[in-house]
Amino acid sequence: MPTLIINNLTKRYGKITAVNNLSFTVEKGNIYGILGPNGSGKTTTLGIILGITQKDSGDFTWFDGLKGKHARQKIGALLETPNFYPYLNADDNLEIIAHIKKINQKKFDDLLILVDLIHRRKSPFYTYSLGMKQRLAIAAAMVGDPEVLIFDEPTNGLDPQGIAEVRDTIKKIAQQGKTILMASHILDEVEKICSHVAIIKQGSLLATGTVGNIIGGDIQIEISSNENEKLQNVLTASGIVKDLHFEEQIIVLSLQNGKAAEDINKLAFQNGIALNHLFTRKRSLESEFLEITKNSQP
Ligand code: ATP
């Protein structure tokens, strides 16, 4: 049973289509990144699935159809830094959050250890660094022990140390087996934290899958010959190919470490097969994503 199914979701603001026929599925335990440049519709998507923003069409299903407050109780979200009381400490602020969420919780030790604020738990909020404030906000999203956590650009505005600490915190939360859905415009961040990714551009889905396959994957090689079946057998028997599949008349493969396209060419030649196509695919989504991001800069 998937945790969240998003199906053909669309949202327009006047002439702008903020989310355009978007579909993807988040499974339990996924660390799912929505990756896209500023203005690509990430926040709008998160707002819709949290019931804050009205969709125009399409639908989404949480927890196999659980509705309303039953679904919401299982979701903790951090869309923008909540308004903590500046003169209250971490414990007191979390107690207020628990009260607002109607959760009877007065002890926050585990949460404060998790977000690495236990040593500053009695300091007033206004004395915190930006990174500490953001980590308290993450703790606040986790009050009530939700099954799913939603983070919108969780490292925005932080310095490099703050960024590293927030990323570590998210990884620790992931290790607890939580499902996480986070929006980010930083490829590197998604690559470092997430297991899965949906790349969006102007509200439309560009690609989705595991981070390994989509942005962190091996270089892929395309080859073809007039004897593709024989070529496939030779390649499989050679032990230098990690995996291989057909895309119409083209064989697409990735190689074991230390092997290169020329090894494939040699192997084919030694077996009397002449290649009529040999092409090394770059990590195309990465370059495409960087291109998109560059184009979106003012
Ligand atoms: P960012 O990271 O900059 O917040 P994003 O990927 O989260 O970007 P959204 O905030 O979802 O993108 O915005 C998607 C598009 O919808 C943008 O063109 C934005 O200007 C537009 N938009 C968002 N909210 C509104 C609104 N309330 N009224 C009008 N247009 C809106």
Which of 17, 40, 153 has most ligand 1 atoms within 8 Å of its beta carbon, as the pocket-test mutant? 40
Domain count, the chain: 2
The answer to whether residues 109 and 199 belong to one domain is yes
State the residue for tokens 């919780």: 105
Q: Tell me: pLDDT of 145 over 80.
A: yes
Rounded to the nearest angstrom, the distance between the alpha carbon of 153 and the centre of ligand 1 is 13
Share of the chain above pLDDT 90, in %: 70
Looking at 14-28, 141-155, 182-196, 202-216, which range is the least confident one?
A: 202-216
Q: In the structure, how many helices (H) and strands (E) does the chain have?
A: 11, 13
pLDDT at site 88: 96
User: Which of 126, 140, 120, 142 minimizes the C-alpha distance to 88?
Assistant: 126
Q: Measured in angstroms, how far is the CA atom of residue 46 from the centroid of ligand 1?
A: 11
* Stretch 36-40: mean pLDDT: 90
Please check whether residues 183 and 91 belong to one and the same domain: yes
Flag whether pLDDT at 298 surpasses 50: no
What spacing in Å lies between the alpha carbon of 78 and ligand 1's midpoint? Answer: 17
Q: Which residues have a Cβ under 8 Å from the Cβ of 53 and sit 6 or more positions away?
A: 11, 44, 47
CA 121/CA 119 separation, integer angstroms: 6
Residues 207 and 223 in one domain: no
Answer yes or no: is 294 within a domain.
no
297 located within any domain: no
What are the residues whose beta carbons fall under 8 Å from the beta carbon of 124, sequence distance 6 or more?
Answer: 86, 87, 88, 89
Would 288 be classed as within a structural domain?
no
Protein residue with least CA distance to atom 20, ligand 1: 39
CATH number for 62: 3.40.50.300
Residues 144 and 185 in one domain: yes
Give distance in angstroms: CA of 24 to centre of ligand 1.
19
Residue 287 lies in a domain: no
Among 159, 192, 213, identify where a domain stops: 213
* 13, 78, 79, 151: residue to mutate for ligand 1 pocket, most atoms within 8 A of CB: 13
Percent of the chain whose pLDDT exceeds 70? 93
Question: For 5-26, what is the mean pLDDT?
Answer: 96
- Cα(82) to centroid(ligand 1), Å: 20
Ligand 1: atom nearest CA of 200 is 6
pLDDT of residue 259: 80
Residues 200 and 250 in one domain: no
Query: Does 120 share its domain with 223?
Result: no
Ligand 1 pocket: which residues have CB below 6 Å? 13, 16, 18, 36, 38-44, 153, 185
User: What is the mean predicted confidence (pLDDT) over 1-5?
Assistant: 93
- Predicted confidence at residue 293, as pLDDT, reads 58
State the CATH number of the domain containing residue 252: 3.30.70.980
Co-location of 50 and 93 in the same domain: yes
User: CB under 8 Å to 67, separation ≥6 — which residues?
Assistant: none
Ligand 1: nearest atom to the Cα of 36: 6
Q: What is the H or E stretch that residue 59 is in?
A: strand 57-62
Is there a single domain that holds both residue 108 and residue 34? yes
- Kindly state the tokens that stand for 80: 């923008």
Amino acid 173: pLDDT: 95
User: pLDDT for 91-134, tens place per residue?
Assistant: 999 999 999 989 988 899 999 999 999 999 999 999 999 999 99
Residue 293 lies in a domain: no
Secondary structure element (H or E) that encloses residue 150, with its range: strand 148-152
Tell me the C-alpha distance between 101 and 107, whole Å: 15
Do strands 75-78 and 148-152 pair parallel, antiparallel, or not at all (unpaired)? parallel
Same domain, 139 and 161: yes
Of 194, 241, 206, give the one whose Cα is nearest residue 220.
Answer: 241
Q: Which residue has better confidence, 255 or 264?
A: 264
pLDDT at 80: 79
The residue from 182, 213, 244 where one domain ends is 213
109 lies in a domain?
A: yes
Task: Give one DSSP letter per residue of 221-286, joined into a string.
Answer: EEEEETTHHHHHHHHHHHS-EEEEEEETTEEEEEE-TT--HHHHHHHHHHTT--EEEEEEEP-HHH
Domain carrying residue 57 = 2-213
- 200: helix, strand or coil: strand
Token code pair at residue 164: 């590293």
pLDDT of residue 283: 60
pLDDT value, residue 257: 75
The pLDDT of residue 37 is above 50? yes
Within a domain: 269: yes
Across the chain, mean pLDDT equals: 90
In this prediction, residues 29-55 reach a mean pLDDT of: 94
Question: Stretch 21-40: mean pLDDT, rounded?
Answer: 94
Kindly give the distance from the C-alpha atom of residue 289 to the centroid of ligand 1, in angstroms, as a whole number: 19
In a domain, 290, yes or no: no
Verify that 72 and 165 share a domain, yes or no: yes
Clarify whether residues 204 and 222 are in a common domain: no
Pocket test for ligand 1, best of 43, 150, 187, 189 (most atoms within 8 A of CB): 43
Domain boundary (156, 187, 213) is at 213
Q: What separation in Å is there between the alpha carbon of 55 and the centre of ligand 1?
A: 13
Whether 252 and 109 share a structural domain: no
